[in-house]
Amino acid sequence: RVAGAALDVFRPEPPPPDFPLFRFDTVIATPHIAGSTEEAQEAVGVRIAEQILEYLRSGVAINAVNMPALSAEEYRTLSPYICLAERLGGFAAQIAAGHPRAVRLVYSGRIAEANTHLVRNAGLVGLLNRWLSERVTLVNAMQVAAQRNLAVIERHHKRTGYVDSVRVELETETALTAVEGAVVLDRPRLMQVDGIQCEAPLSGHLIFMKNQDVPGVIGHVGTVLGRNNINIANFSLGRREGPRPDGPQEALAVVETDEPVSEEVLAQLRAHPAVKLAKAVELD
């Protein structure tokens, strides 16, 4: 037996006066008007407008019904790392070789203790939008990855050399590419590529190079870009630490330019015998 019931939602709104349950003293019926008052409707409208503006500015939908929920406090914490993960994903996709089979996202520091679902999705957005013609978003990123048999793995570590960092490891049938970044002064920065330290911006027009650590490479890059009237905005270098092998040490460079570089310019950069790889990277 039912000892009592409290109802505030009915199929017809408002319910008819002769509604059968109203005749029982053990039934409490309250009017379903809390969200229908003028004050409530105005407050709801203002909040929806604020959330739409936030989505248009950042791409993050707060309280969306078809993606992980994000409170205002979580949004403030995660917003810079959502941007960082997307840029890292886009960077990895453009320098990697081969067809993607798996992607691992590794979170270190305080970010590892947060709800990282949207950060994960942002990394996938950066990756997949570089390979696919269809539009990938924070909402459908995991679904698109599953449809293409792309394994997605997350790992959380509480300690790191940086306060907080995100690493994207992209595995293809031929190689593993790992890029790591951090948020510095509210801006996403590249910190490491394939185990080599190299701090560089994650925005604009970039050239990514792998080369042998020998004299003349930097001068060659400057000469080629100058000959093609391309201005260098930033030049970041790094080389593998540890004992030198029998030959030259492995090094890399990330060059930011004021305009995109053509395949012809990249071919000129590769003409130096010490340059093993030169690719253009475009990040919004």
Q: What is the pLDDT of residues 50-109, one digit of tens each?
A: 888 877 876 667 777 676 667 777 878 899 999 999 999 999 999 999 889 999 999 999
Q: Which residues contact 261 (CB under 8 A, 6 or more apart)?
A: 205, 207, 225, 228, 230, 280
201-284 architecture in CATH? 2-Layer Sandwich (3.30)
Indicate the CATH number for domain 78-194: 3.30.1330.90
Q: Read off the pTM.
A: 0.80
Judged against a pLDDT cut of 90, whether residue 213 lies above it is answered with: yes
Name the band, by pLDDT with cuts 50, 70 and 90, for residue 29.
Answer: confident
Give residue 10's pLDDT. 77
Beta strands across the sheet bearing 275-283: 232-239, 250-257, 204-212, 275-283
Average pLDDT over residues 14-18: 83
Least trusted range by pLDDT, from 6-15, 104-113, 220-229:
6-15
Judged against a pLDDT cut of 90, whether residue 199 lies above it is answered with: yes
Give residue 178's pLDDT. 98
Least trusted range by pLDDT, from 11-15, 157-161, 262-266:
157-161
Give residue 34's pLDDT. 62
**84 to each of 105, 121, 163, 191, how far by Cα in Å?**
12, 12, 14, 11
Judged against a pLDDT cut of 70, whether residue 210 lies above it is answered with: yes
Judged against a pLDDT cut of 80, whether residue 37 lies above it is answered with: no
Least trusted range by pLDDT, from 77-81, 100-104, 164-168, 195-199:
77-81
Name the band, by pLDDT with cuts 50, 70 and 90, for residue 162.
Answer: low
Instruction: Provide the residue type at 171 as one letter.
Output: E
Judged against a pLDDT cut of 70, whether residue 160 lies above it is answered with: no
* Domain locations along the chain: 1-30, 78-194, 201-284
Q: What is the pLDDT of residues 96-155, one digit of tens each?
A: 998 899 999 999 998 999 989 999 999 999 999 999 999 999 989 999 999 999 999 999
Q: Which one has a higher pLDDT value, 160 or 243?
A: 243
Give residue 152's pLDDT. 98
Q: What is the rounded distance in angstroms from the CA atom of residue 273 to the CA atom of residue 267?
A: 12
Q: What is the rounded distance in angstroms from the CA atom of residue 191 to the CA atom of residue 120?
A: 19
CA dihedral 263, 269, 274, 278 (to 10 degrees): -40
